[in-house]
Structure 1
Amino acid sequence: MTEKSKLTLHDIPSMLSDKAWSPNTWRVRYVLNIKSIPYETQWLLHPEIEPELRRVGAPPTIHWILKTETYTLPAIYDPTKNAGISDSNKIAAYLEETYPESRSLRVAESIDFVDSYGRRLNEALFLLLAAQTAENLVPETRPAWREKRERAFGVRLEALAEPDERRDMLLTDVLGVLTDIDAYSNSKGDSPFIQDDELTYCDVVIAATLTWTRRVAGVDSDVYGLIMEVHGGRWKWLMDRFTEWEIVDGV
């Protein structure tokens, strides 16, 4: 694949050394890395997102927090098909269909799991991590990102996980979702993967969410540390397996 035929992954930068933080964009980045599909990242500040997505033909999506059609990331542009695609699940399905010679992640079979368990885990962790996520964003993007979400929730992001009793309840909710995922899994104990001891898009979605958790809360945070300990350490085992695919191009 030539430089001109590389896919473009649109992402929003953070203050992290390699900039990548978003759980939904990590879904796509992991899929691209696992499938060894060449791509480059275009980093977009908040006001740049809508014009760029309009330019490449990537449509708006319904944002789960904002409840309106919004031009949001991730999105990709495939110059070989002149195709702009948004929404992480639709992008994963597109990559699976368009690049069948690459490693299959059984995306179509995984969507019910993603829409249920993946969404629940993202939403539970967002309430815990919203303020830390905002503080990790670059200064040019932080105010607009924070303002839209505070308007949707009606409180400052810090208040979503306050006081300590509420934070403890939210952490219990997160562990409850992971317990349900652990019970859902039909792996036989010799693999950290969720379905049939085989890497699928189900694993990608959970790993992407936990990657976001570690990156914004910190590897030594109580949230991430507790998740790594529960269920016999299976989530640490999963994250260890994903280390080889936690790659940001150009870094």
Structure 2
Amino acid sequence: MATTPPNQSIERAAAVLGALGASDGAVRASDIARAIGLGTSTTGRLLATLESLEYVRRDPETQAYSVGRAVLELASQGLNHNPVHRESRSAAQELAHRVGLTANVGVQDTASCIYLCHFEGSLAPKSHTMIGMRQPMHASALGKALMLDLSEDERRALLGDDLARYTDHTITTHDALTADLVASAGRGWCEENQELALGRFCIAAPIRNASGRIAAALSISGRLTQLRDRDLDSLAEDLIEVADRISVGLGMISAVAH
């Protein structure tokens, strides 16, 4: 079956929005043009169209561009249409408040984990949100929880043979990843101990849907210094209980055999 050729204008507009999203703040048109490899005049026309549709916003004083209202509204609608987000939002927020740490909900998108929910407890304030950001599956507790039901062959097909190293603690072989996930399945939760970033510790548990399949994962994370004196078993029990409650909300009505 013939495939529809890509629309160049839409691709270029998406590139502009991607450049804005990747920036640390408002960006000049010339910087956007340089980032996406287009001429300044072409980029200017794209920005003018996107501004008229409120997908970008131009500061009247600096003339720099940032993401506009329409993008934020569309992102909010996308989250509200997602059943996992709707079911887990309140539970994850309560968990973060109760334990004082960060609570996240993530889902799989091809070979990455994407954050759907991000809530901060009193011990883990951040200046940014993690919603929409990606994490590698093999180096994050959320990603590991999402892969608990996969065989090693399925994980190899998903991740490829080479697993990227982020710190000296990162698991970089499939044999080691399999052993880690077998241990995780036995206790009901996954661990990430400085595998993605030094000083970071995270535990995660799977969230299942009505068919019993893993649909998402819930995590608690924080700095090692924040978790050193915590009762990890008690924290994991709280995490699993909340994940199971979300699973029931998604329609799961029976235990899953391992």
Q: TM-score, normalised by structure 2?
A: 0.25
Question: Greater strand share, 1 or 2?
Answer: 2
* TM-score, reference length from structure 1: 0.26
CA radius of gyration, larger in = 2
Structure having the higher helix fraction is: 1
Relative contact order, CA 8 A, sep 6+: which one is greater?
1
